[in-house]
Amino acid sequence: MTPASTPGVTGAARPMVPASAGSREADAPLHLDEGWVRGPDGVRERSAARVLVLDGAGAVLLVRGHDADEPDRHWWFSVGGGIDPGESSRDAAARELREETGMVVDPVALEGPVLRRSAIFDFAREHCRQHEEFFVLRVADRPTLSSEGWTELEESFVDEVRWLTPDEIEASTDEVFPAALPRIVRALAAGWDGVVEEIGIDTDGGACAAHSES
């Protein structure tokens, strides 16, 4: 692992500077990244890869975001994003990890996939369906993080990146995706048994979640 670094961005949290009035971040509507296509039922969908980065104490690295249409609503989700054409889910997971955190890892270092689900959520004024595969990366020490690889969309809705224990996730007043994340993290921290957990259809935040996983 060769972690990159950015001044002010640490392994504990990456607070964002609030958008100022009149800025693109404050006023412009969000749009989905390329890669989302209309399914037969008209719902925007894509395939994605996600990474549960676990430290030696059993904490997981999560991202906290919000929706511009509901700025007071926040949620925690794992590192990850869409799979590019011709890319494997494992390679996509390693790429997303590098882009979102600055951590550079060989894809073969990722365990899994450990979990699959199809997440249903609303974001950027679109109803979305994302077919996700989760991988695990174990780190002994928390590396310095970087936001240099963030996309314009990520810069507009990400509030911070933080290490959280399962207990801290459960104590949070923010929504968490997937909802079963505390249980999943506890189980994986103890070791993976090689069985892929199949969650199936998973509606994030109830019937209409402002959930963004770019």
Q: Exposed, middle or buried, 130 (CB in 10 Å: 0-12/13-18/19+)?
A: buried
Stretch among 12-16, 90-94, 154-158, 189-193 having the lowest mean pLDDT: 12-16
CA-wise closest residue to 15 among 73, 60, 64, 88: 64
Q: Outline where 64-192 has alpha helix (H).
A: 89-101, 152-157, 166-171, 181-189
Residue 210 has pLDDT above 70, yes or no: no
The string of pLDDT tens digits covering residues 41-95 is: 888 899 999 999 999 999 999 999 887 777 788 889 999 999 999 999 999 999 9
The string of pLDDT tens digits covering residues 139-161 is: 999 999 988 887 776 776 788 89
CA-wise closest residue to 81 among 30, 146, 149, 144: 149
CA quadruple 194, 192, 187, 128: dihedral sign: negative
pTM higher than 0.85, yes or no? no
Q: 44-54 and 126-138: which strand pairing?
A: parallel
Cα–Cα distance, 44 to 201 (Å, whole number): 15
- For residue 112, the SS3 value is strand
